[in-house]
Amino acid sequence: MPSGDRRRVVVTGIGLITPLGASVEKTWRGLIEGKSGIGPITRFDPAGLDTQIAGEVKDFDPLDYMDRKEVRRADRFAQFAVAAAGQALRDAKLEVTPDLAPRAGAAFGSGIGGVETLVDNIISHDKDPKRVSPFLIPMMIIDMAAGEVAMKYGLKGPNMAHVSACASSANSIGEAAEMIRRDEADVMVAGGAEAGLIKVAIGAFNQARAISTRNDAPEKASRPFDKDRDGFVFSEGAGCLILEELEFARSRGARILGEFVGYGLSADAYHVTAPPPGAEGAVRAMRMAIDDAGMRAEDIGYVNAHGTSTQANDGAETAALKTVFGDRAHQVPISSTKSMTGHTLGAAGAIEAAICLLAMREGCLPPTINQEVADPECDLDYIPNRARKANVSVALSNSMGFGGHNVALVLRRDVA
């Protein structure tokens, strides 16, 4: 429908589980202080791996959100999803009543879902087929994050999972917003979760030469746009936004954190892991999102970049940003918060959309830490090393995934 006729979507709650802390408050404090959540791997013995560092969530207790039976029957990624959704619902002060339930839904993305449960059960099967858990299938499938969230909080409306690698949760937020715009829901609990820190996954990324091996200085390992970057840092976590139709939110007196205004998505159709030169697909996604918002590139005041700390991504994304912003590209503040959280794969889009909202509300843009050596190919304003006070009213969040997926989201601080 024409943008002037469609329903408007606002954000009323945020939940975050990241290596900087299992809450919005801890994560935000770490971001503005420029802290790294990366450290030595402790969830398993990394001996023999080229990479022995990761972004682990250290302060998470699933029993704060689920009972013991629920915890035993849910993979860690689904536990993260339930926790982030619970935080966001509390933040929104939203009660899902029986009357609201059919108009309230869940959309949660993940790149690899319950891979830890899958691998553990493969090992058990090799020892004795009868040792395989009867809960293996519901624990490993990617849609179970959305399913667990819906069951826990009584959401009987649209329910879906999105899988587009590292763009998964950005797709979930965009598609959830579209459901509200089309009058198919009044509330959507939207986000993503990832908990794939297992030995075989680290080994696979090592074989692909995709992740950092800076084991002697974990806090320096994730260094987007820096000349000496040597790969991303694999992390776990979850992010969730409560999306509501504007008039519904107003009718219940909700505190509005910002407005979702633009969604763009595209495919590179080029390579399984690498972006094309110039990142033409990312350019189209950004332009689509800005156009969907009824805005121009000049209206964007901050970009949370995909910025993975890989040679291929950072250079291509820089080129794409230059194409989108033209002569103004060097004046737009940009940061990659993956420099502090590491790369949470399918959860990254939701986490970074939440960060955009927090940055606009708090008037402070998080930095890109570890940007120490200038890369001639990456020469934009990446807010190096220190947070920056700034009055920003519109932000763009970029997500890109293996398979050539590109997603861009536009969020606005003020709601007229």
Which of the residues are catalytic? Answer: 166, 306, 343
Residues constituting the chain = 416
d(CA 260, CA 279): 25
Give yes or no for a contact between 246 and 10, defined as CB atoms under 8 angstroms apart. yes
Task: Provide the 10 A C-beta neighbour count for residue 154.
Answer: 13
Tokens of 252: 């219940």
The one-letter amino acid code at 128 reads D
| Centroid of chain to Cα 284 | 20
Q: How many CB atoms lie within 10 A of CB 47?
A: 8
- Residues 317-334, buried b or exposed e (16+ Cβ, 10 A)? bbbbbbbbbeeebeebbb
CA 101, distance to chain mean position in Å, is: 26
Backbone dihedral region for residue 93 (phi beyond 0: left; psi -120 to 50: alpha; all else: beta): left
- Measured CA to CA, the distance from residue 93 to residue 13 in angstroms comes to 8
Kindly state the tokens that stand for 405. Answer: 């997926």
Alpha helices by DSSP H, listed for 42-114, are: 68-72, 76-92
∠ CA 249-145-167 to the nearest 5 degrees? Answer: 80
